Amino acid sequence: RHFTRFLFFCFIDVLCILLVAVMRLTLTAPIPAASTISKTYDLARLLQSKAGEQLRTYLSYQGSPFSDPYFSTFQLQLNELPKALIKSYREWYLMSDETRLKENYKAYAVYVEYLQLVLDDQEELNPSQADLHKMLATTKANLQGLLSNLSSILSSMGFETPVVSDPLSSVSFSASAFEKKIRGYIVCKEYGLWMDRTVHDFIFLRSKYPA
């Protein structure tokens, strides 16, 4: 009888040890998206490091006043472009993973189309500036990779990838040369602000879901 009780408690002890081990594994095991989150952070940092150079290169080829020292018109906006600015740190910090990821996805789905528009404009306005054309095309290609990563993360976490309607449906293709230059400036400027936000978003997500 005592031996039976001994075996019973040994069995309970083994079950407890196994349960604790499983709980530890569950708490420490990375989620399936963790590796892609880490890679997306690395890509975002790379794009962030190049965004300022792209804006400066763009301005240098547009002539005065764009190429003038200290040119800046931060108050100019395009209503069709998603805004990177968030009202408060608290609002950003409390954002759900789903909202954070979807806002990034929707923003870059729009910027991919606008970067192609800016590239088309620059091939018309500055046909000999191959370095600028290559820079814009490379940024667009990298953003397509970023979108693919974001879609993969959303899917791995059980979220749907947002459907983004055509952002260029209301764009005027009869814009003047000056209007096209302004439009390109705003796109490059706002894209840089979004890259800053994305890096912060993925610093947060990477710390939350370590690979």
Longest pairwise C-alpha distance within the chain: 97
What residue type is assigned to position 201 of the chain? D
CATH 3.40.50.20 describes domain 32-208: no
Instruction: Identify the DSSP state of 128.
Output: T
Return the structure tokens found at 164: 């983004």
Enter the pTM of the model.
0.83
- The pLDDT value given to residue 30: 59
Task: Reduce the DSSP state of residue 132 to 3 states and report it.
Answer: helix
- Per residue of the chain (211 residues), give pLDDT as tens: 544 444 443 444 444 344 434 444 444 455 678 899 999 999 999 999 999 999 999 999 999 998 888 877 767 788 888 888 887 888 888 999 999 999 999 999 999 999 999 999 999 999 999 999 999 999 999 999 999 999 999 999 999 999 998 888 777 778 899 999 999 999 999 999 999 999 999 999 999 998 7
CA distances to 44, 71, 88, 185, 199 from 91, rounded to whole Å, are 22, 32, 5, 29, 17
Q: H/E element holding 110? A: helix 97-125
Show me where the domains of the chain are located: 1-30, 32-208
